[in-house]
Chain A
Amino acid sequence: MFSPASAVDSQEHVSITINGKETSVRAGLPLALALMEAGITPLRHSVVSGAPRSPLCLMGVCFECLVHVDDSRNVESCMIEVRQGMSVELANGPRPMESAP
């Protein structure tokens, strides 16, 4: 569905995990682009309507590309670069809110 523009073509790759599955992605890419290249479509579902969502603005404004990265929930994947060993979990529903005791 998405294909890379030749101007940003890179031969170097890093390995990340997506929902526990090891995946090789091009080094230097924003995570959102790497996930698009890896064919993750849709990336998530709206927590309001349940409608499918994919990255839209790719510049940190629309919040459509949220994923969990390592220990951080709901990170904008367009705003961070892929890194060797990065662990990505696709977001599933709104952040749970357990009340303090």
Chain B
Amino acid sequence: MSTIAKPVDTIVIGGGVVGLSIAYGLAREGERVRVLDEGDDAFRAARGNFGLVWVQGKGAGMPAYAKWSMAAARAWPAMAQELTGLTGIDLQLSQPGGLHLCLNDSEVDARIRTLGRLADNIGEDYRFEILDHTATKAMCPSIGREVVGASYMATDGHVSPLRLLRALAAANIALDTEICPNQCVDAISYRHGAFYVNVGAREHVAAKVVLAAGLGNRRLAPMVQLDAPVEPVRGQVLISERVAPFLSMPTASVRQTGDGGVQIGDSKEEVGFDNGTTIEQLSRMADRAVRSFPVLGGVNLVRTWGALRIMTRDGYPIYEQSRECPGAFVVTCHSGITLASQHAGPIVQWIRGGEPPEHIQNFKAGRFNV
């Protein structure tokens, strides 16, 4: 026998940063929202994240994605202020610009090519600088001699991903969103304009359903005639003891958190649903970090972990409403932190029946079936 939960306006499947950002935006607009969160045995990208709010280099193959990311970065300060005002949680957002360090000339050439192509496609809005060793050192005095240069973009920054997750949960709760743990969705059906979401013997009913379940979207999307071909790409992370402030801005692979710990991570591996760590990757990352910042050489490491990115074949998001089941939406992306402000803002307006945001027609799953 099934029990039917009280109907709500929107069910969001997925309680990570993406799902909670959307739920927060919807609740802020006055919707009754229920978040179905799978459980602690899920592959939670939101809890293994690196925490960059990052623009440089993104969208080299799709200028719309670069513009989407730039708008997200610009909207971040207001969102952080709003969340902190509502919850009292400091997100440790800092957007002083970001560096991508290069350890040899061919890495510099690659940055010039990638960012140059982006600037050609986007125009003068896309401002980056290529710095030599001296200019990089002036900006970031702790770099080592092996750093030959860097690319710099003023829009880049970082945030504490765990504080963000906690603030989003607290903000949702303050707005009466129900966050239900241990809800692994078995089935979704669409009947007479409503969605019925089954979790074991329990049935949830809503006028709209948003799939924000990360890698779980692949299984859920076909239930509402959508397609979410996402694959795991593992990233490994090293965390140091808390040290005195030494790094004035984040780099693409090393950042110092607001609490003083150093987070190191730049690996990308296609190894399926395996979120373990390997000595090979960890030692490669540690070696590069110490060559970039020799002062890290004597610092203790306290944690390592692996986490799975949610990647489409081209690396770009999918934002789509189901044609056959209107009111069902899929939202999936790799950059849930950077894009959180877009998800809580323009994506929510679109889900509520507003015009689709300017760039999202580029992000439909049909692009994979050409």
Cβ of B241 < 8 Å from any Cβ of A?
Answer: yes
Q: Does A74 contact B241, Cβ atoms closer than 8 Å?
A: yes
User: Could you say which of B144, B245, B259, B299 contacts A100, with CB atoms under 8 Å apart?
Assistant: B144
Cβ of A20 < 8 Å from any Cβ of B?
Answer: no
Query: In the complex, what's the smallest C-beta–C-beta distance from B164 to chain A, in angstroms?
Result: 18
Interface size on A, residues (CB 8 A): 14
Query: In the complex, what's the smallest C-beta–C-beta distance from B247 to chain A, in angstroms?
Result: 9
Q: Which residues of A contact B244 (CB under 8 A)?
A: 93-97
Given contacts A47-B242, A74-B241, contact A95 B302 (CB under 8 A): no
Q: Does B241 contact A63, Cβ atoms closer than 8 Å?
A: yes
Q: Which residues of A contact B298 (CB under 8 A)?
A: 73
When C-beta atoms are compared, the residue in chain B nearest to A47 turns out to be B242
Q: Does B295 contact A97, Cβ atoms closer than 8 Å?
A: yes
- How far, in whole Å, are A43 and B297 apart by their CA atoms in the complex? 26
Cβ of A98 < 8 Å from any Cβ of B?
Answer: yes
- Interfacial residues of chain A within 44-101, with CB under 8 A of chain B in the complex: 47-48, 63, 66, 73-74, 93-100
- Interfacial residues of chain B within 309-340, with CB under 8 A of chain A in the complex: none
Q: Which residues of B contact A94 (CB under 8 A)?
A: 241-244, 260
When C-beta atoms are compared, the residue in chain A nearest to B303 turns out to be A63
Q: Which residues of A contact B145 (CB under 8 A)?
A: 100
Q: Does B294 contact A100, Cβ atoms closer than 8 Å?
A: yes
Q: Does B302 contact A63, Cβ atoms closer than 8 Å?
A: yes
Q: Which residues of B contact A48 (CB under 8 A)?
A: 242, 259-260
Cβ of B128 < 8 Å from any Cβ of A?
Answer: no
User: Could you say which of A66, A95, A99 contacts B299, with CB atoms under 8 Å apart?
Assistant: A95
For this complex, into which size category does the number of interface residues on chain B fall?
10 to 19
Q: Which residues of B contact A97 (CB under 8 A)?
A: 142, 243-246, 295, 299
When C-beta atoms are compared, the residue in chain A nearest to B259 turns out to be A48
Q: Which residues of B contact A63 (CB under 8 A)?
A: 241, 302
Q: Does B260 contact A100, Cβ atoms closer than 8 Å?
A: no
- How far, in whole Å, are A98 and B245 apart by their CA atoms in the complex? 10
Given contacts A47-B260, A48-B259, A63-B302, contact A98 B241 (CB under 8 A): no
Q: Which residues of B contact A95 (CB under 8 A)?
A: 241-244, 299
Interface centre among A74, A93, A95 (most CB of B within 10 A): A95
Query: In the complex, what's the smallest C-beta–C-beta distance from A19 to chain B, in angstroms?
Result: 20
When C-beta atoms are compared, the residue in chain A nearest to B246 turns out to be A97
- How far, in whole Å, are A73 and B240 apart by their CA atoms in the complex? 13
- How far, in whole Å, are A13 and B20 apart by their CA atoms in the complex? 56
- How far, in whole Å, are A47 and B302 apart by their CA atoms in the complex? 15
Cβ of B357 < 8 Å from any Cβ of A?
Answer: no
0/1 string, B87-101, CB within 8 A of A gives 1: 000000000000000
- How far, in whole Å, are A96 and B246 apart by their CA atoms in the complex? 9
Interface of A with B (CB < 8 Å)? 47-48, 63, 66, 73-74, 93-100
Q: Which 3 A-B pairs have the closest CB atoms?
A: A97-B246, A95-B243, A100-B294
Given contacts A94-B243, A94-B244, 16 further A-B contacts (CB under 8 A): A47-B242, A47-B260, A48-B259, A63-B241, A66-B241, A93-B244, A94-B241, A95-B241, A95-B242, A96-B243, A97-B246, A97-B295, A97-B299, A99-B141, A100-B144, A100-B145
